[in-house]
Amino acid sequence: MATAAQRRIKSVSYAKYGYIFILPFFIVYFIFSLTPLLQTFVLAFQENGARTDLAWVGLDNFKTILAKPAENDFKALGIHESFWQGVINIMIIWFGNFLPQIALSLLLAVWFTDLRVKMPGKGFFKVVMYMPNIITAASVAGLFLSLFGDSSYSVINTLLKPDEPYKIITSVWGSRILVMFIQVWMWFGNTMIMLMSGIQGINESLFEAAEIDGATSTQTFWKITFPLLKTIMVYTLLTSMIGGLQMFDIPYMLHTGNIVNENIKTVAVFVYEMFHGNFAKPSFGYSAAASVILFVITSILGALVFYVQRDKDAIEKKKKQKQAIKEWKRKQKGGGFSI
Amino acid sequence: MSKKITYDSDKGGYQNKVIMKSAAIYAALILLTLICLVPIWILIVNATRSHNEIISGISLIPKGYLAENMKTLKENSLYNKFFHPLIGMRNSLIIAGLCCGLTVFFSGMTAYGLVVYDFKLKDPAFVFILAVMMVPTQVTAVGFMKLLINMNLLDSYIPLIVPAIAAPAIVFFMRQYMLSSFPLDIIEAARIDGSNEFRTFLTISIPMMKPAFAVQAIFAFISKWNDYYNQSLVLVSGKPNQITMPMMVQKVIAIDRNADYGANYTAIFLSIIPVVVIYIILSRFIIGGVAAGGVKE
């Protein structure tokens, strides 16, 4: 394509502009993201406290968090239990929000892309279903607190007028299910649109062929849509896991008063409270150790995302290679004939 | 294969089936729409009712108490200690607006550098951006806090705004966009016409990348407007004239005694107006942007 002259222009001296254009990004990233990341790793191996010359404590912070400390060390025991409570909470809340969310989103995505179903107002439904996603989490928490709060003035208690007001927020499973519901409410529109673009990426003639062959919607879904959506589903699963590890806003804010609800406290909330709660005596060490654990898990999940996405290209390349070999062989054969 | 009836009746059956199915789907969609909208509608209605009306039961018809509730927010010492909607919106607007501009401009610039030029570190730089794309803010938050303490940047807008220059996910999206739809020949044409590299970027490339810029700008703005985590992390003292809208709302909902429900609802209502208005106006671009996979958060 490029002529020799064009190539020369490209190779002359423009390289330095490449560096100039990407420099601001890297300077800022280095200062505000990479340094804090490295600092987090350093802090994870140092003692807790506000001193400027923190002593190295090796793996102590990790031990306190992960392994059960001595019975008489109440502070360490509290931190240990709080961390594991966070792990359990995040797992429960994540599962309880992901499964219904993906099922609902998938169903909706299939409906919206079904060629046979005539559906005016598709655009309107999509707009409405995505809307909860853009509302500030603080406002969403406030909204659901007013709807399902413990106070006898909350909407649910004024509506049903029970003898004793329902205490959803302070109950263990009530608050967890509410968080799951809020997460689904906020995110199903987003997942749906992502899956829809995945379905629209499937070759339309496959659906048409299935329809002509008399396949039912269920058959079309299980034999065509679902297998071809696998990659994007796995991608959604992994990114949702990464997002789940960071779940903070709703669990942190879904309470009245100043104490975060223990039953929905996530690991991200644990990390935040450890370094943000008490400025006189911050527990940077524990917080950083928990962050490092989160970082390792996220990295593994992130690597899996790349693996899943890369797969496609690799398969394509292999196919091309095979084709090239075939062609080469055919040419050889052809050559044989011509001799 | 026992369905060997005449063609016409079979067709009728098929069409009936499609109609039935469409009706069922419609019913489900309307139900979901209600689930999405009713909470927001109750919020709007209750923002226009008085405390006494709210605690006596729910209603779906707006009343005329909004101005009174706003007055309560302004005059009741429970609220006016920290809740000043105009100041909150101003602060959020400063942060989200500047972040949005910086993110889009510098991400575009970085992507441009990675696509247009050939240099030795081009591939390593891109691999680096890919690798750090998924590092969550929560993981670096401790180190970030320590850095802010060391640099004496707590309670300042700088650590909320400047980091927006480096947004790996947006660089990635813009790079993909440029690779797929940016004609590089134009840059060479500009060079031959004597335009320098920066001018080419500013006056030729940016206008051509407008669609990608617009979508990313909308998302960057909304996500920064909604970003409670970083704002509450940096603005530790919670000075009333410095905190943002989400922080003010958080303080309102944490009030556990003597809350005026009308005022509470009104405060939440005021906080969602800006994003909802932006969303309604730009919903087409936003939905398109999500479909294009340009959103990470």
- Give the pLDDT mean for A307-331: 75
Q: How far apart are CA A83 and CA B55, in angstroms?
A: 38
- What ipTM did this prediction achieve? 0.88
Residue A338: pLDDT band (50, 70, 90) is very low
Q: How far apart are CA A188 and CA B90, in angstroms?
A: 31
Residue A278: pLDDT band (50, 70, 90) is low
Nearest chain B CA: its distance from A231 CA (Å): 14
Specify the pLDDT at position B295: 46
Q: Which of A27-31, A125-129, B206-210 has the highest mean pLDDT?
A: A27-31
Q: Within 13 A of B67's CA, how many CA atoms are on the CB side?
A: 1
Centroid of chain to Cα B112: 24
Specify the pLDDT at position B297: 39
Note the pLDDT tens digit of each residue in A137-160: 999 999 999 889 888 888 888 888
For A150-164, A324-338, B194-208, which range has the lowest pLDDT when averaged over its residues? Answer: A324-338
Q: How far apart are CA B235 and CA B224, in angstroms?
A: 15
Q: How far apart are CA A73 and CA A222, in angstroms?
A: 55
Contact (Cβ atoms closer than 8 angstroms) between residue B272 and residue A136: yes
In DSSP terms, which residues pair with A46 in a beta bridge?
Answer: A56
Phi, psi of A56 (to 5 degrees): -80, 135
Residue of B nearest to A267 (CA): B138
Residue in A134, A156, A199, A238 to test binding to B, most B beta-carbons within 10 Å: A134
- Give the pLDDT mean for A210-226: 87
Report CB contact under 8 Å: A197, B292: yes
Residue of B nearest to A27 (CA): B166
3-state secondary structure of B65: coil
Contact (Cβ atoms closer than 8 angstroms) between residue A315 and residue A231: no
- Inform me whether the pLDDT recorded for A94 exceeds 70: yes
Report CB contact under 8 Å: B134, A302: yes
Mean pLDDT of chain B: 87
Q: What is the DSSP string of B127-160?
A: HHHHHHTT--HHHHHHHHHHHHHHHT-TT-SHHH
Note the pLDDT tens digit of each residue in B99-130: 999 999 999 999 999 999 988 899 999 999 98
Q: Does A184 touch chain B (CB under 8 A)?
A: no
Q: What is the pTM of this model?
A: 0.86
Cα-only R_g, chain B: 26
Q: How far apart are CA A282 and CA A295, in angstroms?
A: 21
Among A37, A253, A299, whose Cβ lies nearest the Cβ of B140? A37
Note the pLDDT tens digit of each residue in A299-308: 998 888 888 7
Angle between helices B261-291 and A172-200 (to 10 degrees): 30
Both tokens assigned to A5 = 């002259």
Both tokens assigned to A124 = 């309107």
Residue of B nearest to A302 (CA): B134
Contact (Cβ atoms closer than 8 angstroms) between residue B272 and residue B39: no
Specify the pLDDT at position B294: 47
Contact (Cβ atoms closer than 8 angstroms) between residue B184 and residue B116: yes
Q: List Cβ<8 Å contacts ≥24 apart for A214-218.
A: A217/A110, A217/A114, A217/A116, A217/B21
Which residues of chain B neighbour A217 with C-beta distances below 8 Å?
Answer: 21
In DSSP terms, which residues pair with A56 in a beta bridge?
Answer: A46
Q: What is the DSSP string of A222-243?
A: IIIIHHHHHHHHHHHHHHHHHH
- Inform me whether the pLDDT recorded for B149 exceeds 80: yes
- Give the pLDDT mean for A93-120: 87
Contact (Cβ atoms closer than 8 angstroms) between residue A25 and residue B166: yes
Share of residues in chain B with pLDDT > 90 (%): 43
Which residues of chain A neighbour B151 with C-beta distances below 8 Å?
Answer: none
Residues 6+ apart with CB under 8 A from B281: none
Among A25, A143, A153, whose Cβ lies nearest the Cβ of B268? A143
- Give the pLDDT mean for A75-90: 90
Among B147, B166, B254, whose Cβ lies nearest the Cβ of A25? B166
Q: Which of A91-100, A115-124, A251-260, A303-312 has the highest mean pLDDT?
A: A91-100
Nearest chain B CA: its distance from A331 CA (Å): 34
Closest CA to A182 of A93, A88, A91: A93
Specify the pLDDT at position B2: 47
Contact (Cβ atoms closer than 8 angstroms) between residue A306 and residue A68: no
Both tokens assigned to A12 = 């002359």
Among B18, B134, B135, whose Cβ lies nearest the Cβ of A116? B18
Among B25, B225, B233, whose Cβ lies nearest the Cβ of A111? B25
User: Judged by CB atoms within 8 Å, which residues 107-136 of A form the interface with B?
Assistant: 108, 111, 116-119, 123, 125-132, 134-136
Report CB contact under 8 Å: A298, B25: no
CA dist B122 → A135, B61, B116 (Å) = 38, 60, 10
Q: How far apart are CA A304 and CA B25, in angstroms?
A: 35
Report CB contact under 8 Å: A134, B245: no
- Inform me whether the pLDDT recorded for A234 exceeds 60: yes
Q: How far apart are CA A176 and CA B6, in angstroms?
A: 56
Q: Which position has the higher pLDDT, B214 or B94?
A: B94
- Inform me whether the pLDDT recorded for B16 exceeds 60: yes
Note the pLDDT tens digit of each residue in A244-263: 888 999 999 998 888 888 88
- Give the pLDDT mean for A159-186: 90
- Inform me whether the pLDDT recorded for B156 exceeds 90: yes
Specify the pLDDT at position B238: 86
- Inform me whether the pLDDT recorded for A2 exceeds 70: no
Q: How far apart are CA B270 and CA A161, in angstroms?
A: 29
Which residues of chain B neighbour A275 with C-beta distances below 8 Å?
Answer: 141-142, 145
Among B36, B138, B141, whose Cβ lies nearest the Cβ of A132? B36
Specify the pLDDT at position B100: 95
Contact (Cβ atoms closer than 8 angstroms) between residue B106 and residue B265: no
Contact (Cβ atoms closer than 8 angstroms) between residue A17 and residue B113: yes
Mean pLDDT of chain A: 85
Q: How far apart are CA A109 and CA A67, in angstroms?
A: 44
DSSP letter assigned to residue B82? T
Residue A34: pLDDT band (50, 70, 90) is very high
